[in-house]
A and B are shown apart, each in its own frame.
Chain A
């Protein structure tokens, strides 16, 4: 495979006396969907927040396109091309889709030497991008609050891609969604991957991960249990790795199915 677009090397993160990450290594390649799995408290959130510039690693280094990188805040990560879509903090319900789409990246037009928000341009681009993603809007001024959870995730993903993300981090995009909405978001992930963007898909749902993932990394208690390719994993194997042992297997036997 080509060079990894981002390489997180032996990342450690301590919060006071708590060791949230105890040496995690991860490589992500362009055009792949890399699933990061782990149970609650495994360190997934801490890890992606380190990747997106919210936290600074206590130890370890980050190589982005082969060069070491230091983020002082999320804006650095965004301008480098690392975009993160958070589960419920992606969009502002009271604002229109167009205003949300261009939030932080407002297009401007000069008039009389002053710079104004370019509504026409913003509305046109928003409508086009939404059509491509399969979302029908009444108009660009429709409030995001009227969209479903899956549609909001899709708008947020489309926004990140439109503004030149090379690495797209999705923090549990499907965990609060219904079946149809989930499949919608998963197909969006597939579209994005095919454009050559590296997707880091965080989830604790093995079935969602297997639906779109190319490679899988499992976190458990702040450590990686290795990265596996699509060909070599089974749902049961991933599930066991996430739970960190055999307990789940026995539980599953008694319940008669996968969790």
Chain B
């Protein structure tokens, strides 16, 4: 209600304090949470080895798994849609690579590429059904949660009479694409750090002299790459503006010429891509695929995104926030282990922090849009 305003300032627009302004950012919850969990575990688990090289690598890798799927879920949620099939997609993709490489004897690189093509196509199908029928993505992707999980159990049962396919590490030997997902980078650097005595080295055994951490897993590299890509795409490109617009108000976006359907389908495809990246990293690292992998991951991804400040209704959020949400998950999940606490408490923590994040987000949204 500011009416006709001609002067240099409007007496009805209150100056917002810089503190309050700093608080109005989607990453707020994630930042508070990150500081809180590090403080907490710094106090209770400092001596447990959680913060030495091995410990850091341990929770970084676990966090990276959450981060990879959280980036996809975050962009999709900002575009106004959900994907509940992410967890099943992880199981399905892993099984796809394993079956193509063993039963069908394809080289690993071809198995990986084919799986990516199939999974991204399923993501596109998800998106296509959602934009064509106008049904809530919640229902459409719930259907795919069951379809994909069922297939990833049924297919290996038919073909191999088991639901866990191993022996992939041997098959990946010498493959050009496998190290992109299963390798480690910076091995030279870590050897040097070990030689310098900066990080611990094995004292005895057949790995004596080697550093306890011999490189950064590709899982972590993928997480960082996807976060940077997602953040730049969302905040620094034209397409990012379209993502916000689609989730904010699809009809208003359509009226000014934003190709809403295309944006949404592409985001479903990107989410499927992220799930497949995680699945491939897992298969390459463990050397096996299991039909049960990725269970409940879709919800963990969504919770990480919500802790990161995204609104469930779309149109608002941050990739950096989602990454912090994923970091909090990894630190808490592994921290409970280091602190020698019952690990099922992790789920209690998940529920509590989800509730707190949602309440905080609602409050922040009211400030942004001026509702009371």
Seen from chain A, the residues whose Cβ lies within 8 Å of a Cβ on chain B are 74-75, 78, 84, 86, 89-95, 99, 102-106, 108, 115-117, 119, 134-136, 138, 143, 145-148, 150-151, 159, 178, 180-181, 183-184
Contact = CB atoms under 8 A, between A and B. Distances in A.
Contacts of A138: 13, 15-16
B252 A92 contact: yes
A253 B287 CA distance: 88
Contact of B238 (A89, A117, A151): A117
Nearest to A76: B257
Interface string B294-333: 0000000000000000010001100000000000000000
Nearest to A109: B236
B5 A134 contact: yes
Nearest to B248: A92
Contact of B257 (A75, A90, A108, A146): A75
B4 A99 contact: no
B78 to A, nearest CB: 10
Given A90-B255, A92-B315, A104-B242, 10 more contacts: A74-B254, A104-B258, A106-B238, A106-B241, A108-B238, A115-B238, A116-B237, A117-B238, A136-B5, A180-B3
A84 B252 CA distance: 11
A41 B240 CA distance: 39
Given A106-B238, A184-B4, A93 B248 contact: yes
Contacts of B13: 136, 138
Interface string B29-45: 00000000000000000
Interface of B: 1-10, 13, 15-16, 236-238, 240-242, 244-245, 248-249, 251-258, 311, 315-316, 365, 368-371
A89 B9 CA distance: 28
A95 B245 contact: yes
Contacts of B238: 106, 108, 115, 117
B249 A89 contact: yes
Contacts of A95: 244-245, 248, 315
B315 A146 contact: no
Task: Tell me if B's interface is mostly helix, strand, loop or mixed.
Answer: loop
Contacts of A75: 257
Contacts of A181: 1, 3
17 contacts: A75-B257, A86-B255, A91-B252, A94-B248, A95-B315, A103-B242, A104-B258, A115-B237, A116-B237, A117-B238, A136-B2, A136-B7, A143-B369, A145-B368, A145-B369, A145-B371, A181-B1
A134 B257 contact: no
Nearest to B252: A89
B7 to A, nearest CB: 8
Given A138-B16, A146-B369, A74 B257 contact: yes
A134 B315 contact: no
B80 to A, nearest CB: 11
Contacts of A135: 2, 5
Given A106-B241, A136-B9, A94 B253 contact: no
A103 B253 contact: yes
A183 B3 CA distance: 9
B249 to A, nearest CB: 5
**Residue among A74, A91, A104, A105 facing the most chain B CB atoms (10 A cut-off):** A104
Contacts of B7: 136
A151 B255 CA distance: 19
Nearest to B8: A136
A99 B251 CA distance: 16
Contacts of A115: 237-238
A243 to B, nearest CB: 31
Given A74-B255, A92-B253, A103-B258, A116 B245 contact: no
Contact of B244 (A78, A99, A146): A99
Contacts of A91: 252
Contacts of A104: 242, 245, 253, 256-258
A148 B1 CA distance: 5
Contacts of B253: 92, 103-104
B248 A78 contact: no
Contacts of B242: 103-104
Contacts of B5: 134-136
A67 B258 CA distance: 27
A111 B240 CA distance: 16
B247 to A, nearest CB: 8
